[in-house]
Amino acid sequence: MAACLPLICLLVSVTAIAADFSPERYWNTALPNTPIPNSLRHLFTPDFTDEKSTNVQVGKGGVNVNAGKGKPGGGTAVNVGKGGVHVDTGKGKGTHVSVSGGKGPGGGVGVHTGKPGKRTDVGVGKGGVIVHTRHKGKPVYVGVKPGPNPFVYNYAASKTQLHDDPKAALFFLEKDMVPGKEMNLRFNAEDGYDGKTAFLPRGEAETMPFESEKFSEILKTFSVKPGSGEAEMMKKTIEECEAKRVGGEEKYCATSLESMVDFSVSKLGKDHVRAISTEVAQKNAPMQRYIIAAAGVKKLSDDKSVVCHKQKYPFAVFYCHKAMMTSVYAVPLEGENGLRAKAVAVCHKNTSAWNPNHLAFKVLKVKPGTVPVCHFLPETHVVWFSY
């Protein structure tokens, strides 16, 4: 195959950079045989799904790039002339690519995707590729008080958490996971924001500071007032991600879907791996009584797993940890008024390294390392396991 002209190669490279922004496409490439759980699919931003594709054609007339489904006004026009290259996609809402010549700072390639003020800028020049994300607005606080994360095992429960945190009900003993057992549960407790905490593409997420020493910069990025409830939740999430690991646990905070996939695959492999979440038939179902269905409990894995817990943050961040000696179960539940749930439960067989004042021990009235401790996963959390 003949080598392409430098300008054409550059345009194709820029198109590839833009295409790489799709988290869904990354998943399907890395894990072609693993379905995406609905809990994760719901966190994809509309601008980065695979509903649209881009085709590049090179002919005598120059370069023609068509993006979208072929709808009038929805494609991409590329003009190549002496003044450089200009690419404009669809009604001013898509991607703009400009290529200018010269040796000065103005030379190079600029790519701007999305609506003004809510878009990603990619600059290609002598210094390499620079991605700058314009944040999508201030996160909306919904009144959830920051407190110890019950799924981070080196934290002690707060004085009020036992009664105030709906996640407290998700802990139970393995011996109680039998048909007919009744439990009061709420699976979709609010995560702290208004539901707009979607995934950022990895290229975007990696430009965002995510460490305590840059917290002031983080607050400015998201227009969050220091000392506010939003700020406290964000600070708590970062601190938990930076905290030391528990026992032989391996932990990682994934700030993108791509990084979550990479971490999980590095611990479990990719040939026989599944990712599943709890599914409840009713949206925003309240705390209510469930009964473990007579159909029974199914053990899915009995060795190692990676559990990823969604955190309170302006965009989707997951606290992931791999621990040995864990079991994963599928638990069918029947709630009040016929409400059904397909719950996922994780049982930890060795809790000796956990904080002795952890919420689970307070709820279950047991001591660390004595009995397996189990918990259901909220709808927004994911467990990865080999099969």
133 and 274 part of one domain: no
Q: Evaluate whether 30 touches 261 at the Cβ level (below 8 Å).
A: yes
What's the rounded Cα separation, in Å, for the pair 311 and 308?
9
- Residue 380 structural domain: 148-196+245-384
Indicate the pLDDT class of residue 123, thresholds 50, 70 and 90: very low
Residue 335 lies in a domain: yes
Higher pLDDT, 287 or 137: 287
Average pLDDT rounded to a whole number, residues 8-17: 38
What percentage of the chain carries pLDDT values higher than 70?
Answer: 66
Report pLDDT for 220: 94
Question: Which residues sit opposite 290 in a β-bridge?
Answer: 183, 335
Residue 180 lies in a domain: yes
190 and 330 part of one domain: yes
Number of domains in the chain: 2
What's the rounded Cα separation, in Å, for the pair 15 and 28?
19
Average pLDDT rounded to a whole number, residues 331-345: 93
Residue 96 lies in a domain: no
Residue 232 lies in a domain: no
Q: Is the pTM of this model over 0.85?
A: no
125 and 254 part of one domain: no
117 and 155 part of one domain: no
Residue 373 lies in a domain: yes
Q: Is the pLDDT of residue 176 over 90?
A: yes
Report pLDDT for 68: 46
139 and 258 part of one domain: no
Report pLDDT for 158: 81
114 and 191 part of one domain: no
Indicate the pLDDT class of residue 216, thresholds 50, 70 and 90: very high
Question: Which residues sit opposite 382 in a β-bridge?
Answer: 308
Residue 353 lies in a domain: yes
Mean pLDDT of all residues in the chain? 74
302 and 346 part of one domain: yes
Average pLDDT rounded to a whole number, residues 76-103: 45
286 and 361 part of one domain: yes
Indicate the pLDDT class of residue 296, thresholds 50, 70 and 90: confident
Q: Is the pLDDT of residue 280 over 50?
A: yes
254 and 305 part of one domain: yes
Q: What pLDDT digit, counting tens, does each position of 223-258 carry?
A: 999 999 889 989 999 999 998 887 777 999 999 999
Residue 74 lies in a domain: no
Residue 45 lies in a domain: no
User: Residue 171: helix, strand or coil by DSSP?
Assistant: strand
Report pLDDT for 211: 96
Q: Is the pLDDT of residue 144 over 80?
A: no
Residues 6+ apart with CB under 8 A from 82: none
Q: Evaluate whether 326 touches 347 at the Cβ level (below 8 Å).
A: yes
166 and 287 part of one domain: yes
What's the rounded Cα separation, in Å, for the pair 269 and 273?
7
How long is the chain?
387
152 and 120 part of one domain: no
What's the rounded Cα separation, in Å, for the pair 62 and 337?
64
Indicate the pLDDT class of residue 282, thresholds 50, 70 and 90: confident
Q: Is the pLDDT of residue 149 over 70?
A: yes
Q: What pLDDT digit, counting tens, does each position of 31-42 carry?
A: 999 999 988 988
Indicate the pLDDT class of residue 89, thresholds 50, 70 and 90: very low
122 and 183 part of one domain: no
